[in-house]
Structure 1
Amino acid sequence: MTKTIKLGAVAGRHEIPGVQGYVLNLVEDPSDLEEIERNVFASLDNKLVNVNKLDLYVTGLTSVVLAAVKYCSQNNVQLSCWHFNREDSSYFKQKMF
Structure 2
Amino acid sequence: MPRLNVVDPQRAEGKVRELFEGPLKGKHFNIFRGLANSPAALEAYLALSGALQNTQLTAKEREYIALATAEANDCRYCLAAHTALGKMAGLSD
TM beyond 0.5: no
Structure with more helix by fraction: 2
Higher relative contact order at CA 8 Å, sep ≥6: structure 1 or structure 2?
1
Structure with more strand by fraction: 1
